[in-house]
Amino acid sequence: MEIFIFILGTFFGSFANVCIKRIPYGNSIVKPSSHCPKCLVPIKWKDNFPIISFLILKGKCRNCHADISFEYPMVELLTGLYFLGAYIYFGFSSAFFISILLGLYLIIISFVDIHLKIIPNILSVSLLIIGLILSPFNTVVINPLSSVIDRIIGSVLGALSGGILLYLIALAGSKIYKKEVMGGGDIKLIAAGGSFLGIYNIFSALILACFIGGIVGLIFVILKKQKLSDFVPFGPYLSASILIVFFIQPCLFPFC
Ligand SMILES: [Zn+2]
């Protein structure tokens, strides 16, 4: 079963690659079928297996031998491992299905944000709506013993509080630094995260994201890969933190 879940995850990773490349440009994720970005020749089904095809073709297009980005098999592997981890951790439960949907979205959002430094509304807003719709089944949003009504309220409050708090931070930051320090995309993403995590957990995720972002940023500055004043996409840190909190639900507040 574990192997099946992993392979299923790599196929979803393949789908994530298509979304990462097309959604920011408003292109259909169904048509046209996958093709080489260089020579535009459609990729045959036998060359379209996640990870394995990349290895067999040694990372080159079968037709024009152009290099295929290493990112494709990386996203497939990441998604496969994530699905496997979610299955081992949650078993077959509502939390498992919600976690793989949330994870898939956040993987796509992170890579789009890394490439283009934007989080498209169609991704963040649809994730927010899905979080609200699934809240009756989401036992992570408050606690497993809560009633369905509690979960719905928790999801709405999580989305509102996360969104509003980050909006205020962004507003204060732009006043202090006289430039935009946090994009509107981040605010919508934290609101979406709040709809999955509830009010207390979303604050934990936000604190964790700043912490991870600070450490990674510092390492990059030390390695001279970036300057302190550089704009760094916050989406990947937020995404990772939302997932970590969804899994372990640490409690940073005494009353939750
Ligand atoms: Zn080609």
Q: Identify the band that residue 255 occupies on the pLDDT scale cut at 50, 70 and 90.
A: very low
The pLDDT, as a whole number, for residue 182 is 66
Q: pLDDT above 90 covers what percent of the chain?
A: 52
Q: Could you tell me if 170 and 253 lie in one domain?
A: yes
pLDDT at 164 over 50: yes
Q: Could you tell me if 38 and 135 lie in one domain?
A: no
Beta bridge partners of 60: 67
Give a yes or no: residue 208 inside a domain: yes
pTM, full prediction: 0.90
Domain with 171 in it = 119-256
Q: Could you tell me if 74 and 140 lie in one domain?
A: no
The pLDDT, as a whole number, for residue 181 is 63
CA of 42 to the centre of ligand 1 (A): 9
Calpha distance 195→199 (Å, rounded): 8
CA of 65 to the centre of ligand 1 (A): 6
**250 or 74: which leads in pLDDT:** 74
CA of 35 to the centre of ligand 1 (A): 8
Give a yes or no: residue 108 inside a domain: no
CA of 38 to the centre of ligand 1 (A): 5
Calpha distance 105→245 (Å, rounded): 16
pLDDT in tens, 131-140: 999 999 988 7
Q: Measuring CA to CA, how many Å separate 254 from each of 25, 135, 141, 250, 251?
A: 44, 23, 17, 11, 7
CA of 30 to the centre of ligand 1 (A): 20
List, as ranges, residues with CB under 5 A of the ion ligand 1. 36, 38-39, 61, 63-64, 66
The dihedrals phi and psi of 213, each to the nearest 5 degrees, come to -60, -40
Q: Could you tell me if 71 and 143 lie in one domain?
A: no
**45 or 103: which leads in pLDDT:** 103
pLDDT at 124 over 60: yes
The pLDDT, as a whole number, for residue 132 is 94
The pLDDT, as a whole number, for residue 249 is 75
Q: Could you tell me if 59 and 159 lie in one domain?
A: no
Q: Could you tell me if 250 and 196 lie in one domain?
A: yes
CA of 236 to the centre of ligand 1 (A): 30
**Structural contact between residues 239 and 186, judged by C-beta atoms closer than 8 angstroms:** no
pLDDT in tens, 55-107: 999 999 998 999 989 999 999 999 999 999 999 999 998 899 999 999 999 99
